[in-house]
Structure 1
């Protein structure tokens, strides 16, 4: 049995920064993620330009994933991918984490950083879209350049759908947006941008049929939700954002007295403490007064959770870590960086 000081569940921004910071605090660290790659929900927006991360604006979601991952691996943590933790038990001395396959991990403390749970996009379940080999239905935008000169139908009316329409509008030949309600749900400014753009917006309509030629959809049928009249629109690609199915089984099936806030979140405090001693949380999964549900907020959550885990393990430890410029691990790295800057 290999026992870790801290195990971090979730590989999004909160989990990645927790991993880096626990290494900074000389903790033996493991990070576990259910996906096959680190980055979490940022993979929904790989090409979106992010402006609100301090000192890093602007950069794409993919660039932020790469930088966070590089930083997280600084102290060589153990990384476990493609494993979903489904339950946590607490013994007298440590926690036991069990994955779907029944395999176990052992840790003295835990930081839960799973956001709103594991996200699985809701698929388009209509006639013509049920085949697994249809290749031009997309549930995220992995490459904007792919859509250059193409006719794209986007289905959805939330933040992601609105953002995607705005991103594709100057790139695609034509962008259409169908939404079954009368008003878009996105943030005010992106919605205003979309409504003043060349995007063809079809409110109170929805896709009811896809026309396929081989393994590609060539047209979609839109049905008016009020009149039930239909129109057929030729397309090169269909992009779907109907929300996500959230898997909160970790919280639901764990036999611990975890106090919850709603269906998917843990009730805690600004220090990352939950109702279970030794189990901390960071990022969107934890709820407390004054919570900031932005990427920048999850970094402070991560720092506080790691500091609490450190002092839980060793009450004599400093409540705060040293600043990174004083850390011995960076001495040689800093010399290399200074040399690159002066060459």
Structure 2
């Protein structure tokens, strides 16, 4: 079997990886994009397809799925090879400075690598109550895939960060009632988002922790709540629950690769060009750290062209790189 040869391999098909692949295509670099999930989009598509995203320049509010769809359309302009449902098992640096990329499906070779894995594999922090497991996928959810499923329902959202507030505000126009249950009176969301929450019809249940779950005869769920620093208890009866206590994630797969990558607090350390401690290996997105790093999609979209430009100059010193996108000769398809 012939093993493919690439200029660049992008590992991770979330928004950062997709934009990096597009930028490689713009500069006519022979690139491949590898994603372990069955579709591109990463956590944004898998976990938050209907959540509004506000930190992308030029888009005054866009859902996760809309953003991924835009990125897919963008890739059509300057396409690269795409492989989904494929997990990279190893990346080996060869004596000549190139890399061998191994997965269960195939082996390929690349002159440079961009790691865009975010925080790696992710799992939601569960609601640790008796009976919660049995309700998962029916009346207990960890993310909203189709907001229309909650139309006309009484919904309790658990959490106090930006994502929990976004979910409550997203469901407010559709649901019969929305409750936001948080263990503190203060919320951790952006000031503007918290202001919108307080001006909405979302009913704030604070400072309470859920203590018990009981299914009622009519199919609803009664939640036992205990007030913080108090013996006071109350109940809340709803049709659906959305738990947003965050997600645990790890990049354990990276530790199995044949690369000695410097890290700090489980994040890959990169320099100003986004290059890691291994020459020829770059990293972008939520999985990297450097002074002043802000873990935003907008930041990752800036890191992608930085990495691609730097590696292209290393691979092809005589190649003329367009300084501005307006100077690129792009044909719309």
Q: For this structure pair, what is the TM-score category when the shorter chain's length is used for normalisation?
A: 0.7 to 0.9
* Residue-by-residue CA offset, 1:205-256 (whole Å, 9 max, x unaligned): 2223322369x65332223343355433221111011111102113333342
SS of 1:299's partner is: helix
Residue 284 of structure 2 is aligned to residue 282 of structure 1: yes
Spell out the pairing of 1:216-255 with structure 2 (5 A cutoff). Answer: 218-227=221-230, 229-255=232-258
Instruction: Pick which of 243-252 and 225-234 moved more.
Output: 225-234
> How many pairs does the alignment contain?
329
* Residue-by-residue CA offset, 1:3-27 (whole Å, 9 max, x unaligned): 2221111112210111111111222
Q: Matches of 2:228 and 2:283 in 1, distance apart?
A: 42
Relative to structure 1, the CA distance from residue 104 to residue 210 in structure 2 (aligned partners, 3 Å threshold; closer, same or farther) is farther
TM-superposed CA distance for 1:71, in Å, is: 1.1
Select 2:71's aligned residue among 47, 68, 71. 68
Spell out the pairing of 1:1-343 with structure 2 (5 A cutoff). Answer: 1-43=3-45, 44-93=47-96, 94-99=98-103, 101=104, 104-131=107-134, 134-212=137-215, 218-227=221-230, 229-263=232-266, 265-320=267-322, 323=325, 326-327=328-329, 330-331=330-331, 333=332
Are the equivalent residues in 1 in contact too, given 2:4–2:107 (CA < 8 A)?
A: no
Instruction: Pick which of 232-241 and 317-326 moved more.
Output: 317-326
Q: Matches of 1:105 and 1:154 in 2, distance apart?
A: 45
Q: Matches of 1:51 and 1:183 in 2, distance apart?
A: 22
Q: Matches of 1:323 and 1:233 in 2, distance apart?
A: 54
Q: Matches of 1:184 and 1:17 in 2, distance apart?
A: 32
Are the equivalent residues in 2 in contact too, given 1:116–1:285 (CA < 8 A)?
A: yes
Unaligned runs of 5+ in 2: none
Relative to structure 1, the CA distance from residue 282 to residue 232 in structure 2 (aligned partners, 3 Å threshold; closer, same or farther) is same
SS of 2:66's partner is: helix
Unaligned runs of 5+ in 1: 335-343
Q: Matches of 2:182 and 2:62 in 1, distance apart?
A: 29
SS of 1:115's partner is: coil
Q: Matches of 1:84 and 1:242 in 2, distance apart?
A: 27
SS of 1:316's partner is: coil
Are the equivalent residues in 2 in contact too, given 1:20–1:72 (CA < 8 A)?
A: yes
Q: Give me the TM-score of the superposition, normalised by structure 2.
A: 0.87
Q: Matches of 2:108 and 2:227 in 1, distance apart?
A: 52
Are the equivalent residues in 1 in contact too, given 2:216–2:222 (CA < 8 A)?
A: no
Q: Give me the TM-score of the superposition, normalised by structure 1.
A: 0.85
Instruction: Pick which of 283-292 and 155-164 moved more.
Output: 283-292
Instruction: Pick which of 287-296 and 143-152 moved more.
Output: 287-296
Q: Matches of 2:137 and 2:256 in 1, distance apart?
A: 35
* Residue-by-residue CA offset, 1:175-224 (whole Å, 9 max, x unaligned): 1122234432222222233234332222232223322369x653322233
TM-superposed CA distance for 1:133, in Å, is: 6.4
Relative to structure 1, the CA distance from residue 229 to residue 36 in structure 2 (aligned partners, 3 Å threshold; closer, same or farther) is farther
Are the equivalent residues in 2 in contact too, given 1:86–1:249 (CA < 8 A)?
A: no
Q: Matches of 1:57 and 1:258 in 2, distance apart?
A: 37
Relative to structure 1, the CA distance from residue 98 to residue 319 in structure 2 (aligned partners, 3 Å threshold; closer, same or farther) is same
The runs of 4+ residues in structure 1 deviating greater than 6 Å are none
Are the equivalent residues in 2 in contact too, given 1:128–1:212 (CA < 8 A)?
A: no
Are the equivalent residues in 1 in contact too, given 2:8–2:110 (CA < 8 A)?
A: yes
Relative to structure 1, the CA distance from residue 326 to residue 76 in structure 2 (aligned partners, 3 Å threshold; closer, same or farther) is closer
Q: Matches of 1:11 and 1:65 in 2, distance apart?
A: 10
